[in-house]
Amino acid sequence: MIGVRLYLAQRLSAMVMVPLVFGHLAIMIYAIRDGLSAAEILSRTQGSIFWGLFYGLFVIAAAIHASIGLRVLAHEYLKIGNTNLNLLTGLIGSGFLILGARAVIAVTL
Amino acid sequence: MLSEAEKPTAEFLDVAIWRGNAKRGVFHSYKVPQLENQTILDVVSYVQRHIEPKLTYRFACRVGMCGSCAMMVNGRPMWTCRTHVDRAMRGIMRGNPLTIEPLRNLPVIKDLACDMSGFFEKWTRAEGRFHPTRTRSEAIEAISPDSDARKAANEAIECINCAVCYAACDAVTGNKHYLGPAALNRAWTLINDQRDGGRNLRLSAVSGKGGCHNCHSQQSCSNYCPNELNPTMSITGLKRETTKAALKREI
């Protein structure tokens, strides 16, 4: 159960995520060429404003995109009504945002 | 006197027709003489005239124009007056009956007759009404048949309101507010009607919680439309136009 604004938010967040997903995949392939270790990842990401912004934006876009997608599923399969649906969308979105932000802060600060 | 095509063959067709009301129902089995040339509506009419006079169903024109005889045939929504038994039984294993049920996604009144009022209310909610921009005293506006808008309207305009697309749509099944392919297709024809003055009103009407953005583009509507229309394409057009209008803050 979405209107034009949620539809737009989901499409725009998807558009933001497309280059970020490819960037993330490319970095994964590049990063593991000499083996994978936490120290190596942290040496690249800690103190980096670029990676902080890259993954910060990724987390925001993913939280918006996933919460709207799950909202549609919750309505169609669980028949959850409008008020509870808004609550659920907000909870899922903020949950993803908090979890993602914690991860980004942990590897960049 | 019966024509060659109407003469019964030696065989009988096993038919299972859903009978019941809004609360419950079951399949009843009937044996119908098989003809060389026979539509699903012929089968239903035979049962009602010769075996079960209380069988309730709906039809009018018998030639695919009125859109009143649509039913689920072997689990698929079809116009029964233009669907031949041979075609409906294609792909069905020998020994299985021809099953006929009321349309999906609509409340049943009795047997094969559904309550269509919700379906048509959604046409109204999608602002499927023409908003004239001229009075009868003014000259008729000339519309070029070659204009892009008129071509888009023409592609979608031959809808007979049979509700086959509505019965085929899983988004309708999942979301009771969803306006459905037929109502949105109608809205798209009016968006492309240069004589109409209700554009933003209509774009707002199809942008709400049951609007065009709830379509998952599964294309069952286009797949099953008996008139070979493409409501998915119309809905995609509405998504595009509502997006533009929302970004310009017109809706």
What domains does chain A contain, in order, with CATH numbers?
4-108 (1.20.1300)
Give the pairing type, strands B8-20 and B98-101. parallel
pLDDT at A1: 82
Between CA B213 and CA A62 the distance in angstroms is 20
List the domain range (segments joined by +) for residue B146: 117-247
Preferred mutation among A4, A5, A84 to probe B, highest tally of B CBs within 10 A: A4
- pLDDT class for A41, splitting at 50, 70, 90? confident
Same domain, B64 and B176: no
Please give, rounded to a whole number of angstroms, the shortest distance from the CA of A62 to a CA of chain B. Answer: 20
* A31 against B172, higher pLDDT: B172
Is A2 part of the contact surface with chain B (CB cutoff 8 Å)? yes
Whether B242 and A4 lie within 8 Å, measured CB to CB: yes
Restricting to A residues 22-61, those with a Cβ less than 8 Å away from any Cβ of B are none
Whether A75 and B243 lie within 8 Å, measured CB to CB: no
Average pLDDT over residues A46-65: 95
Same domain, B121 and B147: yes
Structure token pair of residue B19: 């009978």
Between CA B146 and CA B220 the distance in angstroms is 30
To 5 degrees, how large is the angle CA B85–CA B91–CA B94? 80
Please report the number of interchain residue pairs, chain A to chain B, with beta-carbon separation below 8 angstroms: 37
This complex has an ipTM of 0.85
What are the CA-CA distances from residue B144 to residues B132, B149, B155, B189 (Å)? Answer: 18, 9, 15, 15
Which secondary-structure segment (H or E) carries B14?
strand B8-20
Nearest to B213 among A7, A76, A82 (CB): A7
CA B153 from centre of chain: 18
Same domain, B193 and B166: yes
Alpha-helical (H) ranges within A32-81 are: 38-45, 49-78
| Total of domains in chain B | 2
- pLDDT class for A39, splitting at 50, 70, 90? confident
Beta strands in B21-159 (DSSP E): 25-35, 70-73, 76-79, 98-101, 108-110, 113-114
Among residues B114, B146, B179, the one where a domain terminates is B114
Instruction: Specify the CATH number for the domain of residue B58.
Output: 3.10.20.30
Q: What tens digit of pLDDT does each residue of B25-59 get?
A: 999 999 999 999 999 999 999 999 999 999 999 99
Give the type of residue at B35: L
Alpha-helical (H) ranges within B199-230 are: 199-205, 220-224
Same domain, B85 and B19: yes
Is A85 part of the contact surface with chain B (CB cutoff 8 Å)? no
Between CA A38 and CA B222 the distance in angstroms is 52
Contact yes or no for B82/B64 (Cβ under 8 A): yes
Alpha-helical (H) ranges within B79-211 are: 85-88, 117-125, 148-156, 164-168, 170-174, 181-191, 199-205
**Residue segments in chain B with a per-residue pLDDT below the cut of 70:** 1-10
Q: What are phi and psi of B109, to 5 degrees?
A: -90, -60
Give Rg (Cα) of chain B.
21
pLDDT at B24: 95
Same domain, B123 and B199: yes
Close Cβ partners of B199 (under 8 Å, ≥ 6 residues apart): B191
What are the CA-CA distances from residue A25 to residues A43, A46, B189 (Å)? Answer: 19, 19, 44
The DSSP call for residue B47 is I
Same domain, B208 and B127: yes
Between CA B218 and CA A100 the distance in angstroms is 32
Same domain, B213 and B229: yes
B35 strand-pairing partners: B8
Structure-token match 């109407």, residue found: B6
Contact yes or no for B81/B62 (Cβ under 8 A): yes
Cβ-Cβ contacts under 8 Å, A3 against chain B: 207-209, 211, 213
pLDDT at B42: 97
Among residues B98, B114, B130, the one where a domain terminates is B114
Of B177, B162, B243, B170, nearest to B208 (Cα)?
B177
The DSSP call for residue B99 is E
Nearest-by-CA chain B residue for A75: B175
Same domain, B106 and B155: no
Same domain, B174 and B200: yes
Same domain, B124 and B145: yes
pLDDT at B215: 97
Same domain, B27 and B75: yes
Cβ-Cβ contacts under 8 Å, B213 against chain A: 2-4, 6-7
Q: How many residues does chain B have?
A: 251
Cβ-Cβ contacts under 8 Å, B246 against chain A: 4-5, 8
Among residues B114, B145, B173, the one where a domain terminates is B114
Whether A4 and B174 lie within 8 Å, measured CB to CB: no
Between CA A91 and CA B92 the distance in angstroms is 48
Q: Rounded to 10 degrees, what is the CA torsion of B216, B218, B222, B226?
A: -110
Instruction: Specify the CATH number for the domain of residue B126.
Output: 1.10.1060.10
Same domain, B128 and B208: yes
